[in-house]
Amino acid sequence: MPVRRSKVLLVKWIFENQHKLQTVRWCSSSLRYKELEESAQALEHVAPHAAAAAPDVKPRPYRAPETSFKHDDLQVTLAAPYQLQRKPDAPDLGFGKYFTDHMLKIQYHKQLGGWQKPEITPFEPLSIHPAAKALHYAIQLFEGLKAYRGVDDKIRLFRPDLNMRRMNLAAERSGLPMFDGDELIKCIKRLIQIDQEWVPHSETSTLYIRPTLIGTEATFGIMAPESALLFVILSPVSAYYKASDDGAVSIYADPSVVRAFPGGVGNRKVGSNYGPTIDATARAAQMGHHQVLWLFGPNHELTEVGAMNIFMVYINEHGEKQLSTPPLNGLILPGVTRQSILELASEWDDLTVKEEVITMDRVIELNNSGRLLEMFGSGTAVVISPISRMGFIDQEIYIPTMKQTRPVFQRIKDTLLAIQYGHIEHPYSHVIS
């Protein structure tokens, strides 16, 4: 009884004195901001020398998190019957319009020792302070992966370890706390087990998984937040967007806009990479195109198309059929599907696979000489999206992707789907028991 009474008194004291605690927290943050500002001013004196040495600086290797939450600490609160939602029919799904009955939430508070216990709760809106750093400075990131219901009725994930690694790299760049990816995968698997009936019984639909990490500290000042929230929501989905009647898309190569810049975060899955693309995509749609082909530099190098990595199939100078994609030079997101395509296609004897810089002049030259065979985009949401038309300045370039008798894009798509839906056993596939 005395213990319970002391807890009640403690809660009452915190409630009555929370304004004082907020003042202390604000002062602490202000001092931390001042220290960072003074450090930056001190670095200005050595900036000229540092700039000269910059080209020799190598990227830092992946840094493992010091602490993490644990799946063994997971707490589960199931939704009550009245909270359960009606499951939509597969033809009505669309992309990201419906959400399952539960969600995963993991709080991070530096002053409480870091990561707190993960919890699965009924799906609900988030309560967030208006001053949260995620709202003002885009201190947030996300991932996207899918759960597939296989031909054997087993549910599978596709290479989730790569998503976790990419998510941690984005967290490190954004000043957000890192975590043990294996522990999050275990928590996600448990969430899917609970909402397993939301995984479509179809090979044209999947359960999209959206892990998100946001800075929630309620203070102004651009610095690493001392509190954050990692949450995961699930959404049954079908096609990402509607293609033309032949299944291909048309893209617009706009040289007046750029998606990413050297030294930036084009290779990280942060929300600030996507919001600013909406206007350019809308203008492309007005001209009859589905997506924007993002170019970079005076040579108009191809980087990404929409939110996809881009591939090209052509006959090279040696008369060989070659599959090419732009290299990971900091401008391009290291796509899980992209990496899988390169690894799988490298095992095929009848195809040369290469990462190389691709320019618009090169595309036009190959197309005019009849050596360009196919172009397609790849990503988790679309898997493979063939490209048949490209607008560029005042030109309309028609790509013979859909005219090939045995297209490479279809062979790649069939292989990926066979792995994801369990038609063939493969180490890329993770079965949820």
Q: For the chain, what are the domain ranges?
A: 71-237, 249-421
pLDDT of residue 95: 87
Q: And the tokens for 394?
A: 């005042």
For 249-421, CATH gives 3.20.10.10
* Cβ neighbours of residue 331 closer than 8 Å, sequence gap 6 or more: 259, 260, 261, 262, 264, 266, 267, 296, 303
Q: Residue 214 in contact with residue 229, Cβ under 8 Å? A: yes
Backbone angles phi, psi at 236, to 5 degrees: -70, 135
CB atoms within 10 A of CB 388: 22
For 71-237, CATH gives 3.30.470.10
Are the folds of 71-237 and 249-421 the same?
no
Mean pLDDT by 10 residues, the chain (433 residues): 51 47 40 42 37 39 76 97 89 87 98 97 97 97 97 97 98 97 98 97 93 97 96 90 78 93 94 92 93 96 94 97 97 97 97 97 97 97 94 94 96 97 96 88
Q: Residue 222 in contact with residue 129, Cβ under 8 Å? A: no
pLDDT of residue 247: 86
Q: Strands 301-305 and 291-296, how do they pair?
A: antiparallel
Please name every residue paired with 191 in a beta bridge, in sequence order, or none if there are none. none
Q: What is the spatial distance between Cα 314 and Cα 376, in angstroms, rounded to a whole number? A: 12
Q: And the tokens for 132?
A: 């949260």
pLDDT of residue 15: 45
CB atoms within 10 A of CB 119: 17
pTM of the model: 0.83
